[in-house]
Amino acid sequence: MTDRIFEDARTFEVSSGGSFVWQKVRIRDGQGEVMITVNEEAGWDSQMANFVMTAAEATRMKEFLIAKGY
């Protein structure tokens, strides 16, 4: 683990402090979904994107990453 990672009961975050980019994975309790948020803080040119996956899709992504050796 690195100091770029934060985890609690509902979220998992990885941030890059130098460029002010962070990614957050949040479990949407009771909905069976995972929300992934990516944010780039760049003043007037800041950007944010959200993506929601079902639990089955998140499991497939996990299996894909494990199969690739991650």
The pLDDT assigned to 20 comes to 62
14: which residues sit within 8 A by CB, 6+ positions away? 4, 5, 22, 23
* Tally of structural domains, the chain: 1
Q: Record the pTM.
A: 0.69
pLDDT digits (tens, 9 = 90+) for 26-59: 887 777 888 888 888 877 888 889 989 988 898 9
Least Cα distance to 40 among 20, 25, 26 occurs for 20
With tokens 């929601």, the residue in question is 52
What's the domain range around 53? 5-67
Residue 65 has φ and ψ, to the nearest 5°, of: -65, -40
